[in-house]
Amino acid sequence: MITRADCLALDRADPLAPLRERFILPDDVIYLDGNSLGARPKAALERARQVIGQEWGIDLIRSWNHAGWFEMPLRLGNLLAPLIGAAEGEVAVTDSTSINLFKVLAAALQLQAPTGRRVIVTERGNFPSDLYIAEGLTAWLDRGYRMRLVDSPAELHAAIDDETAVVMLTHVNYRTGHLHDLQALTRHAQAQGAMMIWDLAHSAGAVEVDLGAANADFAVGCTYKYLNGGPGAPAFVWVPRRHQAHFTQPLSGWWAHAAPFAMAPSFDADAGIRRALCGTQPVVSLALIECGLDVFADTDMASIRRKSLGLTNLFIELVDTRCADHPLTLVTPRQPAERGSHVSIAHPQGLAVMRALIARGVIGDYREPAIMRFGFTPLYTRFVDAWDAVAVLRDILDNGLHDVATTGDDHRSVVT
Ligand SMILES: *Cc1c(COP(=O)(O)O)cnc(C)c1O
């Protein structure tokens, strides 16, 4: 039987434990929602003071050059690149994940147009915005594109065929925490003649990703989840070098122009990753992303993944053994190789249980249907947090405390 003392010993032996000091976390909270909104790096407050106080307040417009504002999307992209197996000059940090998905899906459909293929394969359980963006783009194009939605990861292989133009998948499912085999699916999709787009919203900074080794076609993802970039911080887009010369996207704003300050009357795309940009970025928000990325410079993704699986294995085992009398169903795969960095557990009264947990300071969130999500961010979550969260969960279930906590904060309304 695992004890709380065992968990404390795991924390003492954890090489990543000192990184927790780089974040602000309230003492009375066990934060298990970093998969939705990452915690704040301590450095972000000082960086915000600098950007708002000095760069904007004093230096004014000179900061576009002097403070490097204009170069930030590409500079941050290069800092982020090693976390996803991308090369220098292949990643831009800009716009939102939804917008970047629109760009790369449009580019991929354009590249596939000569083949006559008209099918986009994805999962019905994909993050809704990804589905909506694909629906919106294809309806607007009005060229007979169809979505082929599969209901389980096991059906994917067979669903990808010689009609498939693009396979568009989220690496780690936001609801179930299921992790796809990125390399194998990319290989399969391309062998069928399809292009492969990955959404890394729930992977970047949490699981090892090697887009380069997989030879994927395009990728997008969030910075405000495991990368701790701040609420609503701009997202990233990956266009590998081999596709850049023929990558065209319809949001061809002036930041994507080869010579933005020439103010030419017609568009001429930049030769490199800059062509994935659109227009002026939210500089204050963009600047804070670096504080989150800086923390990764002191570790590596293999160590992060090892700790992530240590935390999720422990949490699953504690729920299995200590809450065995209750109607809890593990939604997330038990097989570590198929698991991202959050654990989803269904309970018939999942919403009420999550509300009771949050009222007791254990912050996870809730997703339909009846699923409680618990995110484990290896940079700041401790093994003892898993223990304490399960202790509170057990107390709530043993004593029926969720039956009385019928209202409260369940984070249903926040982005994932
Ligand atoms: C969080 C998330 C998004 C969020 O997109 P926004 O444009 O930032 O709202 C998109 N896709 C997936 C898979 C996500 O998990």
- Integer Cα distance of 174 and 227 in angstroms: 16
Instruction: From first to last of the 416 residues of the chain, give the pLDDT tens digit.
Output: 999 999 999 999 999 999 999 999 999 999 999 999 999 999 999 999 999 999 999 999 999 999 999 999 999 999 999 999 999 999 999 999 999 999 999 999 999 999 999 999 999 999 999 999 999 999 999 999 999 999 999 999 999 999 999 999 999 999 999 999 999 999 999 999 999 999 999 999 999 999 999 999 999 999 999 999 999 999 999 999 999 999 999 999 999 999 999 999 999 999 999 999 999 999 999 999 999 999 999 999 999 999 999 999 999 999 999 999 999 999 999 999 999 999 999 999 999 999 999 999 999 999 999 999 999 999 999 999 999 999 999 999 999 999 875 555 655 544 44
User: Quick one: tokens of 242?
Assistant: 């081999």
pTM for this model (two decimals)? 0.97
What is the DSSP secondary structure assignment for residue 87, as one 8-state letter? P
Residues 13, 18, 20, 21: is their CA dihedral positive or negative? positive
Q: Quote the ligand 1 centre to 223 CA distance (angstroms).
A: 10
Give the number of the atom of ligand 1 that is nearest the alpha carbon of residue 232.
8
Residue 96 near ligand 1, beta carbon < 6 Å: yes
Is residue 222 within 6 Å of ligand 1 at its C-beta?
yes
Among candidate residues 366, 349, 340, the one with its CA nearest the CA of residue 406: 349
| DSSP output for 225-266 | STT---TT--EEEE--HHHHTT---S---GGGBSSGGG--SS
Does the C-beta of 202 come closer than 6 Å to ligand 1? yes
3-state secondary structure (DSSP) of residue 21: helix
- What is the position in ligand 1's atom list of the atom closest to the CA of 174? 15
Does residue 36 sit in helix, strand or coil? coil
Q: Tell me the per-residue pLDDT of 61-81, one tens digit each, with 9 for 90 and over.
A: 999 999 999 999 999 999 999
Q: What is the DSSP string of 276-323?
A: G--S---HHHHHHHHHHHHHHTTS-HHHHHHHHHHHHHHHHHHHHHHS
The size of the chain, in residues, is 416
What is the residue with the minimal CA distance to atom 14 of ligand 1?
Answer: 201
Q: Quick one: CA torsion of 170, 175, 177, 181, rounded to 10 degrees?
A: -30
Angle between helices 301-322 and 4-12 (to 10 degrees): 180
- The residues carrying an active-site annotation are 127, 199, 224-225, 373
| Ligand 1 in reach of 232 Cβ (< 6 A) | no
Q: Whose CA is nearest to atom 5 of ligand 1?
A: 97
Specify whether the CB–CB gap between 203 and 305 falls below 8 A. no
- Locate 283 and state its tokens: 């500089």
Is 201 near ligand 1, meaning CB less than 6 Å away? yes
